[in-house]
Amino acid sequence: MSNQSTESLVISLVILVIFSGIFSATETAYSVASKIKLKSMDNDGKPGAKGALDILDHYDKFLSTVLIGNNIVNILSATLATILFTRIYGEGGATISTIVMTLLVLMFGEIAPKSIAKQAPEAFACRLVGLVKFFMTILTPLSLVFRGWQNLVQHMIHVENDDSDIQDELITMVDEAEREGDLEEHESDLISAAIEFNDLDVRDVLTPRVDVVAVEIGTPVEEIERTFRMNSFSRLPVYERSIDNIVGLIHEKDFYNLLYQDKEKAIIRKIIKPVVYTSENVKISTLLKQLQKAKVHLAVVLDEYGGTAGIITMEDIIEELVGEIWDEHDTVKEYYQKIDDQTYLIQCDADIDDMLDRFGEKPEEDEYDFITVSGWVIHELDHIPQVGEEFDFGHLHITITKADQRKVIQIRVEIRPKKEEKENRRDHRSDKKEEEEDDR
């Protein structure tokens, strides 16, 4: 074999391995690249950003093009390498070719280019726009064939496109930004709350019926005045005959203005303001718009039978975005009281998701009807427990410390070692015992 022929084969192999690396780097760059960053780069006039966004809009066509191109160059390089090494080493050349090309393609056609492209995917995507569009054009016929076959197979086996949950992606991005120091904790919390805001139902936020402070329409003004003073509320719901029939609300300011005019002849009906009625399953984002439109601050939440499930205020809704809002009359409630490193007293109107997150546990069901710790305890025991009852949940030991006939008021949580920790401690004790015996 002539030197010229050998050189041609070697040069061809080098070119093919380079193209293999380009295809691999391109695949990684466009798979990892953030559309948000590319749009920002496009707004800043970065060359190639607009083209990269266009390619991402046709991602299926791009991916089939890259995979076809990569396979073509890898097959060609393997073929040429086999010819080259067979001519040089005879029958053993095929084995040598396989080993050499596997190493070359892995190192320079896969691992290195993909690792480099992953470091700055948006920059790579912008630089490779022209080359990618060129191959997308010339490989269009093959791409169409393979995409048609892909669609046929998906249809035959009923494969549906698994669209990623954009909301989860956004929350993950926010968490990553916080970990990397790009966002402060309070900024991250606010953005995450805004993203999750539309998922919250009224039932997740309302003040339950048993905790509603309201007055009957015929209540003497002295008692209403005492209710305002004792609870420091600016508004009180007003019901007629039963709390299941809330007819409106009275403002503290209107009430005291009425008393100032003539306390003896004060008629509460004159100052009753209308309320908005809603159901437990309405999204709080929808209710917020209704409250704004009606220019009221309180809604009565009705259950499926038309009775009162609770109430919800505009402040309750806004607190889901910005966190707890305290005023000078609010009493800060401590839901968690730490006894020691392994023991806590917990008020049972605390949020169950928050409690289980704190202790590294989660409910056994993906969907559940309870919101509070009280609801969770009753669900686990399948009855309203009495003081002193106990149960285990994961690595938590729960003891009922306060309860009444209707609900659980307080529990004690003892954190016990998880199974893996127990096994590790047992192994450690066994090893230590063996060492002591050896020393003897």
The C-alpha atoms of residue 320 and residue 194 are separated, in whole angstroms, by 8
Per residue in 309-355, pLDDT tens? 999 988 888 888 776 665 555 555 678 888 888 899 998 888 888 88
**Is the pLDDT confidence value at 172 over 70?**
yes
Q: What pLDDT, on a 0 to 100 scale, did the predictor assign at position 345?
A: 92
User: Cα separation of 281 and 287, whole Å?
Assistant: 10
pLDDT of residue 147: 73
Q: What is the pLDDT of residues 102-156, one digit of tens each?
A: 898 889 888 998 899 888 889 888 988 888 889 888 888 887 887 777 667 767 7
pLDDT of 67 higher than 50: yes
What percent of the chain is modeled with pLDDT above 90?
9
pLDDT for 379: 86
> Would you tell me how many other CB atoms lie within 10 Å of the CB of residue 308?
21
Geometric angle at alpha carbon 327, from 326 and 332, rounded to 5°: 50
Distance, CA of 94 to CA of 270 (rounded, Å) = 99
pLDDT of residue 300: 92
Average pLDDT, integer, range 76-95? 86
Query: Does the pLDDT of residue 193 top 80, yes or no?
Result: no
CATH ID of 336-415, from 3.30.465.10, 3.30.70.360, 3.40.50.720, 3.30.450.20: 3.30.465.10
Predicted local distance difference test score (pLDDT) of residue 211:
84
What pLDDT is attached to residue 374?
87
Q: What is the pLDDT of residue 163?
A: 46
Q: How far is CA 217 from the centre of its chain?
A: 45
**Least confident segment among 202-206, 257-261, 339-343, 364-368:** 364-368
Say if residue 195's pLDDT is above 70: yes
Q: Which two structure tokens, joined as six digits, stand for 202?
A: 């009224």
Range of weakest confidence among 6-20, 335-349, 412-426: 412-426
pLDDT of residue 182: 67
Spell out the residues 6+ positions from residue 415 whose beta carbon is closer than 8 angstroms to its own: 341, 342, 343, 344, 359, 395, 396
pLDDT confidence bin for 432, thresholds 50/70/90: very low
Q: Give the chain's mean pLDDT.
A: 81
> Is the pLDDT at 276 greater than 50, yes or no?
yes
- More confident: 429 or 245: 245
For the chain, give the secondary structure using H, E and C.
CCHHHHHHHHHHHHHHHHHHHHHHHHHHHHHHCCHHHHHHHHHCCCCCHHHHHHHHHCHHHHHHHHHHHHHHHHHHHHHHHHHHHHHHHHHHHHHHHHHHHHHHHHHHHHHHHHHHHHHCHHHHHHHCHHHHHHHHHHCHHHHHHHHHHHHHHHHHCCCCCCCCCHHHHHHHHHHHHHHCCCCCHHHHHHHHHHHHHHHCEHHHCCEEHHHCCCEECCCCHHHHHHHHHHHCCCEEEEEECEEEEEEEEEEHHHHHHHHHHHCCCCCHHHHCECCEEEECCCEHHHHHHHHHHHCCCEEEEECCCCCEEEEEEHHHHHHHHHCCCCCCCCCCCCCEEEEECCEEEEECCCEHHHHHHHCCCCCCCCCCCCCEHHHHHHHHHCCCCCCCCEEEECCEEEEEEEECCCCEEEEEEEECCCHHHHHHHHHHHHHHHHHHHHHC
Average pLDDT for 51-60: 87
**Would you identify the CATH topology of the domain 204-322?**
CBS-domain (3.10.580)
The domain ranges of the chain are 1-156, 163-197, 204-322, 336-415
Judge contact between 132 and 26, C-beta under 8 A.
Answer: yes
204-322 matches 336-415 in fold: no
- Dihedral sign computed on CA atoms, order 178, 183, 189, 195: negative
pLDDT tens per residue across span 214-260: 999 888 888 888 888 888 788 899 998 889 999 999 888 888 888 77
